[in-house]
Amino acid sequence: MQIRTQRVKALRWLGSMLIVILVGGYIVRAVDRTLPLLQPTTPVLLLMRPTAALKLAWPSEQAAVGIVGTSILKTHGVQKPTATASTAKLITALSVLHARPLAAGQHGPTVALSAADVALYNTYKAEDGSVVAVKVGERISEYEMLEAMLLPSANNMADSLARWAFGSLHAYITFANSYVRHLGLAHTHVGGDASGFSPNTTSTASDLVRLGELAMRSPVLAHIVGQTTATGIPVVGTVRNTNALLRTSGIVGVKTGNTTQAGGVFIVAAETTVNANPATIVTAVLGAPTLVGAFHISLPLVRSAEASFRPATIIIAGTVVGQYRLPWGGRAAAIASKTLVVDAWDGVVIPVIITLHPVRADAHAGQAVGNLAAAATILAGKHMIALTLKAAPSKASLWWRLVHP
């Protein structure tokens, strides 16, 4: 009987010890085990941070401003289609190069001018339009015709070039009206000629800015409109650019226009530097009293557009951009490690992407947990800063560890 009692006591002792060992092991494991990764509540977030409003030197006339290679377009005044005058020659140039492409440095086919081309010259001269002299049998290259059309703004050369490229002025006008729609110039209409002398060719300042941007993206046209003179043109020799502001305030193009019906019309391209990247601003004004008047109102508009690039604060150091929710209660904040400033055009919306990664529960204050990036644009490369923990996450309690195996 005594032996049996001793055996029972021994078994009870062993059972108690086993329970102690199991419970102790569980506690040790609960205390020492690796906790789950902390997940961000905003792992990827797209922000749009607008800068200050534009302060451009708008004229009283219809006007617009854009930047080549971007969707930026600012307008002033009612965008009502009005006569374009010779700025329409940019449509002619783009249409001809679409039909008869030229690479940079090429002069293209040689065209033999006829009595019909001389008749065009005589007609435009009698109407006091801009012309360059031509003669029957004159041989002139496609590139030289573009120069004669765009620099001295020769109306007769615009019509001659269009007739050569498309077979007739009617065929050109049909194509051009389809082409401007394809280019997104919804408020532009090509009227009775290729020169813009007809008041039936109309557009808006916003469309003319886009037209100027397209011309400046063409290596052939950008080179031509950036010249003050061109030499070697058959019959006339040297021709001069009607753009009196060329090479003033960074101006590198684009085209003038001036008729009784249109008044002064001017599309300007000016180069500047933003975030060490080259940028080309394009402005357009319609309906100035004279071409000189168009020059006078365009220059301050260009200068104000150039001056509108300024530092834009994307985020300030210490700003909370995300949270980590702790399974045992509480939160850990992720903050910007430093202030991010990017040069931008006033009024432009800047896309910002925030990325946060899961982190260990034993992370420390100041630990990098992700990044914030201002997306790369035509005006600036990608700018990025690190995101860090504002403070170390609170520790999980023993009780939480025990009840969350």
pLDDT surpassing 70 at residue 52: no
pLDDT of the residue at 55? 83
Please give the torsion angle defined by the CA atoms of residues 195, 196, 198 and 204, in that order, rounded to the nearest 10 degrees.
Answer: 160
pLDDT surpassing 80 at residue 220: yes
pLDDT surpassing 70 at residue 117: yes
What share of the chain has pLDDT > 70, as a percent? 85
Phi, psi of 78 (to 5 degrees): -70, 125
CA–CA separation, 353 and 386 (whole Å)? 12
CATH of domain 62-307: 3.40.710.10
pTM > 0.75: yes
- Confidence bin at 96 (pLDDT 50/70/90): very high
- Confidence bin at 255 (pLDDT 50/70/90): very high
- Confidence bin at 179 (pLDDT 50/70/90): very high
Q: Which of 235, 218, 301 is nearest to 266 (CA)?
A: 301
> At 298, which helix (H) or strand (E)?
helix 291-307
More confident residue, 198 or 273: 198
Which residues, including other chains, have CB under 8 Å from residue 403's CB and lie 6 or more apart?
none
**Which stretch of 11-25, 72-86, 166-180 has the lowest confidence by average pLDDT?**
11-25
CA–CA separation, 159 and 252 (whole Å)? 25
pLDDT of the residue at 209? 97
* Most trustworthy range by pLDDT among 161-175, 275-289, 299-313, 330-344: 161-175
pLDDT of the residue at 3? 67
Name the 3-class secondary structure at 140: strand
Chain centroid, CA 130 distance in Å: 35
- Quick one: average pLDDT of 226-249? 94
Cα-based distances in Å from 117 to 65, 111, 190, 396: 37, 11, 21, 90
Please give the torsion angle defined by the CA atoms of residues 155, 168, 96 and 228, in that order, rounded to the nearest 10 degrees.
Answer: -10
Name the 3-class secondary structure at 89: helix
pLDDT of the residue at 128? 92
Report yes or no: 65 and 56 within 8 Å, Cβ to Cβ. Answer: yes
* Most trustworthy range by pLDDT among 37-41, 280-284, 352-356: 280-284
- Quick one: average pLDDT of 173-177? 97
Which residues, including other chains, have CB under 8 Å from residue 186's CB and lie 6 or more apart?
207
pLDDT surpassing 90 at residue 164: yes
Which residues, including other chains, have CB under 8 Å from residue 323's CB and lie 6 or more apart?
40, 41, 42, 331, 332, 333, 334
- Quick one: average pLDDT of 102-108? 92
Residue 114: CA count within 13 A, CB half-sphere: 6
More confident residue, 315 or 351: 315
Phi, psi of 54 (to 5 degrees): -65, 145
- Quick one: average pLDDT of 344-358? 79
